[in-house]
Structure 1
Amino acid sequence: MKILSICGIIAAQLLVHLADAQGCSNVVLRRDIMSLSQQEWNQMTYVLRRMNDDGWFRYFADIHNYEFGNIHGNDHFFPFHRRYLRDFEEVGQRYDRNFAVPFWDELRDSRNPAGSPVMSSARIGGNGFGACVSDGLQNGWTMSFPNPHCLSRLYDMGNQMHSWYSPEYIYSVMQRNNDMHGFRENIEFSLHGSVHLGIGGDMSTPYSSNDFAFFLHHANLDRLWDQWQSWGHADTIDGRDRFGNPLGLGSALPHYGDPIGSTMRLGTGRMCFRYVGGSSSRREQSALKLVSAPAASSADSADTNLARLPANLLQKWFPHVNHENGPLNGSNSTRSSLAPSAPSGKKMVYPAPLTDAWVSMHRFDRAKVDKAMQEAREFVDDLNTANYLSPY
């Protein structure tokens, strides 16, 4: 009887898995935007221009603007944006069956975002100084929402941007938060806001999805969520919506009405996409490769340098990294951390704080934001005092 019962449970789980997988005959791969060939980028440009000409950028900007208060500053943030990007991706697939939203590995460019090749004329273009972006993907486009205008950008330091959050800090956030609420809040108060504010212009408004940079940015945030989920948080949903109601897997997403649970697993249901370098082979990779994708030697160097930190700082900021076993409790990737070779790299730098206008627009708790900002500065101070050198 017990054997039959176990077999029944296994069969039921298999049926659920097969049911979840329905509708995913075409699972597309989301890739780093800089890995796309010129031909692939040209095809993406064609699809995106067609989408704008047919009114789809207006459609998505309207949704994001209308739902703004429901999807920021609360724990709908990650599942809503995953569903929203998938909606955008599905529309793109009406023009090209293999269309997939790429991601921008922003952590790799965090020290000097304005110098990123992503913001060159060969990709999405650069600064507009508060006026029209004059090169790259959306040069010459008319954005329709909330009224006809050219796409605007205004870097937060004029022709430069403040530094964003480092791979090391985001890796620390991922390790130190085991609940969705804490993970979401720390990401929303850090990397999410710094990219929007750094680029500025349309990106600093509730209709920020006018700028294709929005989709690159949120695909990367979603990729980080996918990575965090693979660390034992596959079905972790907690926290509350904007009205204080508790959230669970059955809670309805703003605008779409789908249950949050329908967004939780990539490659199943309607989530017919995966990230290149995704969770299937992740356990064998080095720790910082899980967060960012620089050259292998850079990631290995970062892992090595982290493992040299004093034990008290490892416990404080990287509780799953230790001198004996390296990252993720047993990966072989940093066994070389005890080698006597001298570390090389650069001192950590402070990331830009959220502005008062941004905090007000999102109705964030200012005290919580200030606490998060102070923690980020403390992180930099601690690593610099310990003579940690970043290869990023």
Structure 2
Amino acid sequence: MAYTRKDVSKLTGAERRRFVAAMLEVKRRGEYDEFVRMHIEYYVADGDGGLRTAHMAPSFLPWHRRFLLDLERALRRVDSGVSVPYWDWTRHRTTTSVPWTNDLLGGNGRRSDRQVMTGPFAYAHGKWTIREGVTDGEFLRREFGRPLDRIELPTKKELESALKDPVYDTAPWNSTSTGGFRNKLEGWGHGSGSAAWRNHNRVHRWVGGHMLGGASVNDPVFWLHHAFVDLLWDRWQQRHRGARYLPARPPAPGDSQHRRVVARHEKMPPWGETPGAQEHHSRIYRYA
């Protein structure tokens, strides 16, 4: 039977406590740091050689859907009633709204070193030590809105620019793709400031701290953010009936993206499942 992912603002007090407790237990067991390591490993940029699956590629959405499911399964092994809630950053936009409450994810980092001091994931409580990362430091860091170079969360209007595109992705299938839903949602733009970071990417930048770069999984908000991104893929599919993951076939030899991106029916590392197999989720979970 399919379970439900809820808007984080709709969680009851008991649901908040159970979600936090399950996250902390997965961390205590050592499983959580495996997710951090995996995301760092698969965070491959355009300029790097080899296959890209997690970012700057068409498989951005199915890769993270499968990644999210793995974390959710780990949580449900702890508490079968837990699922990952989603954070709609077009609605809950302040630094004190959900999910930044003391009973959920805690708040912003302090000015001196960006260390998160509130909530259950604060280092002082001894239950959320950063062990895997691209920088030193054992405490969770955030810097909401980047005060020295101000950035705002994406708006509904900006998100609509992605949702209305009827094509899933376009060549060259990377961060420079100007057409297609995938990159408009993933958010690799041009220029400087907010223009360079759209939708998904700008949210990572707005949170700051550990949410910047491959080690972003260290911040639990990563999962709430990506649950909403996953929901947006679902909404896009409902709006554009019949639209499918692209490319349908691998780029040909001689193409700059040959063997660098995953086509619809090719196996997607590290699971060996195809993007096409991830296009539908209704038998596993649904969104409230």
Q: Structure 1 residues 77, 187: closer, same or farther in 2, change over 3 A?
A: same
Cα drift, residue 232 of structure 1: 3.0
1:121-200 map, 5 Å: 121-128=102-109, 129=111, 130-140=113-123, 141-146=128-133, 149-158=138-147, 162-181=151-170, 182-189=180-187, 190-200=198-208
Indicate which of 258, 267, 279 corresponds to 2:273: 258
Which residue is equivalent to 1:94?
77
Which residue is equivalent to 1:236?
244
Number of residue pairs matched? 246
SS at match of 1:29: strand
Equivalent position amino acid for 1:203 in 2? M
Cα drift, residue 122 of structure 1: 3.2
Is 1:38 paired with 2:27? Answer: no
Q: 1 or 2 for the larger relative contact order (CA 8 Å, sep ≥6)?
A: 2
Q: Structure 1 residues 113, 195: closer, same or farther in 2, change over 3 A?
A: farther
Which residue is equivalent to 2:35?
60
Cα drift, residue 249 of structure 1: 2.7
Q: Structure 1 residues 131, 201: closer, same or farther in 2, change over 3 A?
A: same
Equivalent position amino acid for 1:145 in 2? E
- Point out where structure 1 has 5 or more consecutive residues left out of the alignment: 1-25, 277-392
Alignment check: 8 A CA contact 1:202 1:208 kept: yes
Query: What percent of counterpart residues are identical?
Result: 26
Is 1:78 paired with 2:61? Answer: yes
Alignment check: 8 A CA contact 1:45 1:137 kept: yes
Alignment check: 8 A CA contact 2:246 2:263 kept: yes
Structure 1 stretch displaced more, 77-86 or 124-133: 124-133
In structure 1, C-alpha distance between the alignment counterparts of 2:139 and 2:82, rounded to whole Å? 25
Cα drift, residue 165 of structure 1: 1.5
Indicate which of 239, 242, 249 corresponds to 2:264: 249
Cα drift, residue 115 of structure 1: 4.0
In structure 2, C-alpha distance between the alignment counterparts of 1:150 and 1:159, rounded to whole Å? 22
Which residue is equivalent to 1:221?
229
In structure 1, C-alpha distance between the alignment counterparts of 2:21 and 2:79, rounded to whole Å? 10
In structure 1, C-alpha distance between the alignment counterparts of 2:164 and 2:105, rounded to whole Å? 32
SS at match of 2:286: strand
In structure 1, C-alpha distance between the alignment counterparts of 2:43 and 2:262, rounded to whole Å? 18
Cα drift, residue 180 of structure 1: 3.2
Which residue is equivalent to 1:366?
none
Equivalent position amino acid for 1:251 in 2? E
- How big is the alpha-carbon RMSD for the aligned residues of Structure 1 and Structure 2? 2.2
Deviation string 1:224-279 (CA, Å, 9 cap, x unpaired) is 000101123456111478944464331211211111122111123xxx11111xxx
Q: Structure 1 residues 133, 266: closer, same or farther in 2, change over 3 A?
A: same
Q: Structure 1 residues 232, 56: closer, same or farther in 2, change over 3 A?
A: same
Equivalent position amino acid for 1:248 in 2? A
Equivalent position amino acid for 1:117 in 2? V
Alignment check: 8 A CA contact 2:163 2:236 kept: yes
Q: Which has the larger radius of gyration?
A: 1
1:236-315 map, 5 Å: 236-239=244-247, 243-245=257-259, 247-268=262-283, 272-276=284-288
In structure 2, C-alpha distance between the alignment counterparts of 1:150 and 1:61, rounded to whole Å? 15
Equivalent position amino acid for 1:143 in 2? I
